[in-house]
Amino acid sequence: MNKTYEPKTFEEKIYRNWEEKKYFSAKPNKNKKPFTIVIPPPNITGQLHIGHALDDTIQDAIIRYKRMRGYEALWLPGTDHAALATEVKIVEAMAQEGLRKETLGREGFLERAYAWKDKYGGRIIEQFKKMGFSCDWDRLAFTMDERCSRAVREVFVNLYDKGLVYRGNRMINWCPCCKTALSDVEVEYAAAHSHLWHIKYRIDGEDGYVTVATTRPETLLGDAAVAVNPNDKRYKHIVGKQLLLPLTNRKIPVIADSYVESDFGTGAVKITPAHDPNDFEVGKRHNLPVICVMREDGTMAENAGAYAGLDRFAARERMIADLQAQGLLAKTEEHENNVGHCQRCHTVIEPMVSDQWFVKMQPLAEPAIRVAKDKTVEFIPERFKKIYLHWMENIRDWCISRQLWWGHRIPAFYCDKCGKMTVSKTDVTACPHCGGSVHQDEDVLDTWFSSALWPFATLGYPDKTEDLAYFYPTDVLVTAYDIIFFWVARMIFSGLEHMREIPFHKVLIHGLVRDAQGRKMSKSLGNGVDPLEIIESHGTDPLRMSLVSGVAAGGDIRFSTEKLEGYRNFMNKLWNAARFVVLNLENADVLPLEKVKLTLADKWMLTRLDDAIKQSVKYMDKFEVGLCAAALYDFVWSDFCDWYIELSKTRLYSTDRAERSHTVSVLVYVLRNILKLLHPVIPFVTEEIYGNLPLNDAESIMIDAYPLKAPRYPAAKKQTENLKDVITRIRALRADMKVPANKRTALYLVPTEGNEKLAKDGAGYIEKLAYGNSIRYGKPSGKCATVTTPWMEVYIPMEELVDPSAELDRLSKELVTVQAELARAEGKLGNPGFTAKAPPKLIEEEKAKVEKYTALKEKLTAAIEEWKQL
């Protein structure tokens, strides 16, 4: 083995081997229980980023754990066509070549899109492999492949037939830059500094006017009325009268509607049904015309007269100036409001009335609410359930049509002759009503419409496949909290509607990866980290562990170079511990554990191993990968490396081959189990080391069994803990006395009653780990430094030490500590409330402490007296 951990020398080789051996593949198997995860399919737009690295490391750890626990573990991979996101990218790339969508036409564009998919869809898969992910690649799916497309059609038509998909002319969110409709969740709101412009609307045939406050003067030409609250006394007299719309003098009525709040602005609101969702509703109630004054690219339309052709924001400024010039601008107030932006291009969204396709949500939401409430689907952590429920309970119909080319084309066909529409699972060539020629709807579906079907479409739906029967519902869905609405919620109601079953039992939610200062990683800040660069510089396992370790479910994680280096160091530590074991395989015979003659230290180690196993299983069963990793980090570094390896050296350096063999056997056993426990999180280094060990049960660690227990020796564990305490105290004394770390001294042991055997059995350990050059028994004459413990006293002759004058000081300090402890325990026992109500076990513990500290106090006092007299 190399002297240091060098991941580059083995990661690729190992992954190739796993793939060749088909370890990742899963098939229905009656003799095993299934465990299924479907991957959140990455968009084909980009490459592996730190968010994927986190999300999929958690999944890989879970799936590897379950595989080792004997489940038929399927991790189903795939990619998402990401309709809008991808189209935006392709259009951008084309612009570089001076090309536009329209020049290529739909066919030409789609050709390019598929080429893009082949190029980038493949790239991200290769990058996932570098991460070590154990997906069943033979099942690689794509949201627009044949299987998913069939599922989409099936679902769309079924919903349509039930009246749950419909086409309607309604207010939607329009992105003037992407030139498509968006769903509500694709709009991101941001606070903006704006103004509240107070504009005077003259009353027709009278002298007066009504002042209207608005944040959107550019829509003024689309006004259909001015509304006031029916109870507003200020305006009662003008309700029903006509106003002259500024800049055009078109006549509009004053109407009364309770939607208006009297105490905001002027209490009079301009109603623009074509450009505001609320106004649209008001307009419907009052039968107002919908006057659209904007084109789909956000410029003003022909009916905007002098402003036609101007961009909406330019028009706003021009109109404000014109109103001011005409004396119709009463006031301009500073105003803060929320403005919606396109999730993809961040352009300000324009509410528009348009013909679009919708999913009727109410009937679908009901069962989806129920399964969350009764925990058929369980959110981890539970608080995310509230967020989900709140959304589901206030759900609005989902706009699913997009004015794009890249995506699932809506399977609706319109007759050119009779005009009737046919919605069909298969392509329609002639109108079923009149036989006339037909043309298909130009629009495609929201990308999330197909993602919503992911857990069952990928397993064969609508066919009743063996896969579906075996692997569905899936077990756990792992994702960040930012796509609960986009995806998680939609999978739940889709699964319930189309499969009549939930898509997964549990939803494990994690946070986002942030930089060292806690900021979201973003291109504009330039604080993003590229997982590929990290793999290159530090290796995959350190990346995986630093993303996951120590993070409890639901929390954001901070990523920093320091953290990364910390875990790289851990790999090195593990590597060298293994190297130590492997180097000692020479001149020893490795035996199965049953044949080993165990020492005190061996028994302690095995018991600690059992503790670690139990804890790991507990955490992994709860999907707490991060806490599991952190606990193992501690266990490996402190218990195994710092203590056990050092303790084992006492016997390992014996000249007796049998002794060495026994020790090496325990080392190998413990190390192998450690590797297995760690493998789900850090698969590469554990596999590489595993390959160097004798007596393995499997040809690869990833198909070996996860440990469930190790032998326990509670008495030996306790005794070793006592020895560790003695050793630590001797070391502390040496440090206090300024003994150089490399100076060894004689150590005299005087065991307390009943601890004679411990002193004898532990002598070797104490000598080795407490820097002794010899162990003797009994108290030596002359001045000594003393370590007092409940199990033994240890004397070091003063002449062996550098700074004898410090000893009295040290003893006195220790006495103070012991007295404080004693007072504490006695205080507790002196409290009648405590002795009356505390559990008996606790009282016993406190009593034992009193006894222990009293004895120590006496010994220390005696030692101090003696010291003074010498």
Partner RNA sequence: GGGCAAUUAACUCAGCGGGAGAGUGCUACCUUCACAUGGUAGAAGUCACAGGUUCGAACCCUGUAUUGCCCACCA
Selected binder of RNA within 233, 500, 523, 837 (CB under 7 A): 837
Beta bridge partners of 225: 271
To the nearest whole angstrom, how small is the minimum distance from the Cβ of residue 861 to RNA? 19
Site for RNA, residues 629 to 658, rule: CB under 7 A: 630, 634, 637-638, 641-642, 645-646, 649, 653
What whole-number distance in Å separates Cα of residue 524 and Cα of residue 535? 23
Q: Cβ closer to RNA: 590 or 636?
A: 636
Site for RNA, residues 171 to 200, rule: CB under 7 A: 184-185, 189
Contacts 24+ apart (CB under 8 A), 334-337: 334/193, 334/195, 334/196, 335/193, 335/194, 335/195, 335/196, 335/215, 336/191, 336/192, 336/193, 336/194, 337/191, 337/192, 337/194, 337/215
Burial class of residue 157, CB neighbours in 10 A (0-12, 13-18, 19+): middle
For position 561 contacting RNA by CB under 7 A, the verdict is no
For position 323 contacting RNA by CB under 7 A, the verdict is no
Residue at token pair 């929201």: 446
For position 14 contacting RNA by CB under 7 A, the verdict is no
C-alpha distance from residue 857 to each of 104, 261, 759 (Å): 92, 78, 21
To the nearest whole angstrom, how small is the minimum distance from the Cβ of residue 166 to RNA? 21
To the nearest whole angstrom, how small is the minimum distance from the Cβ of residue 641 to RNA? 4
Identity of the amino acid at 857 = K
To the nearest whole angstrom, how small is the minimum distance from the Cβ of residue 433 to RNA? 40
In three-state form (DSSP H/G/I as H, E/B as E, the rest C), the secondary structure along 117-149 is HHHHHHHHHHHHHHCCCCCCHHHCEECCCHHHH
Selected binder of RNA within 231, 324, 326, 338 (CB under 7 A): 338
For position 525 contacting RNA by CB under 7 A, the verdict is no
Selected binder of RNA within 434, 698, 732, 870 (CB under 7 A): 732
Binding mask 101-130 for RNA (x = CB under 7 A): ------------------------------
H/E element, 174? strand 165-175
**Which among 615-623, 675-683, 694-702, 838-846 is the span making contact with RNA, rule CB under 7 A?**
838-846
Selected binder of RNA within 492, 825, 856, 860 (CB under 7 A): 825
To the nearest whole angstrom, how small is the minimum distance from the Cβ of residue 806 to RNA? 13
Buried-state track 320-352, b at ≥16 Cβ within 10 A, e below 16: bebbeeeebbeeeeeeeeeebbbbbeeebbbbb
Q: Cβ closer to RNA: 80 or 223?
A: 223
Selected binder of RNA within 97, 833, 840, 868 (CB under 7 A): 833
**Which among 107-115, 275-283, 615-623, 781-789 is the span making contact with RNA, rule CB under 7 A?**
275-283
Determine the 3-state secondary structure of 821 from DSSP: helix
What whole-number distance in Å separates Cα of residue 789 and Cα of residue 722? 9
For position 840 contacting RNA by CB under 7 A, the verdict is no
Token pair of 231, please? 């109870």
H/E element, 628? helix 625-634
Selected binder of RNA within 17, 47, 158, 278 (CB under 7 A): 278
Identity of the amino acid at 180 = T
Residue at token pair 């499997």: 698
Selected binder of RNA within 505, 731, 783, 847 (CB under 7 A): 731
For position 571 contacting RNA by CB under 7 A, the verdict is yes
> CB atoms < 10 A from the CB of 161, how many?
10
To the nearest whole angstrom, how small is the minimum distance from the Cβ of residue 821 to RNA? 4
For position 3 contacting RNA by CB under 7 A, the verdict is yes
What whole-number distance in Å separates Cα of residue 812 and Cα of residue 90? 77
Q: Phi-psi region for residue 167, left (φ > 0), alpha (ψ -120 to 50) or beta?
A: beta
Binding mask 233-272 for RNA (x = CB under 7 A): --------------------------xxxxxxxxxxxx--
Binding mask 424-463 for RNA (x = CB under 7 A): ----------------------------------------
For position 50 contacting RNA by CB under 7 A, the verdict is no
Selected binder of RNA within 72, 154, 276, 541 (CB under 7 A): 276
Q: Cβ closer to RNA: 29 or 338?
A: 338
What whole-number distance in Å separates Cα of residue 815 and Cα of residue 63? 54
Size of interface with RNA, in residues (CB under 7 A): 89
Binding mask 375-404 for RNA (x = CB under 7 A): --------x--xx--xx--x----------
To the nearest whole angstrom, how small is the minimum distance from the Cβ of residue 181 to RNA? 17
Q: Cβ closer to RNA: 498 or 568?
A: 568
For position 800 contacting RNA by CB under 7 A, the verdict is no
Binding mask 482-521 for RNA (x = CB under 7 A): x--x------------------------------x-x---
C-alpha distance from residue 780 to each of 288, 746, 804, 808 (Å): 107, 10, 16, 18
To the nearest whole angstrom, how small is the minimum distance from the Cβ of residue 44 to RNA? 25
What whole-number distance in Å separates Cα of residue 58 and Cα of residue 132? 12
| Cα–Cα nearest to 157, from 398, 363, 427, 452 | 427
Do 272 and 279 touch, CB atoms closer than 8 A? yes
To the nearest whole angstrom, how small is the minimum distance from the Cβ of residue 122 to RNA? 32
For position 313 contacting RNA by CB under 7 A, the verdict is no
Identity of the amino acid at 205 = G
Site for RNA, residues 534 to 553, rule: CB under 7 A: 550-552
To the nearest whole angstrom, how small is the minimum distance from the Cβ of residue 267 to RNA? 5
> Could you say which DSSP state residue 217 is in?
G
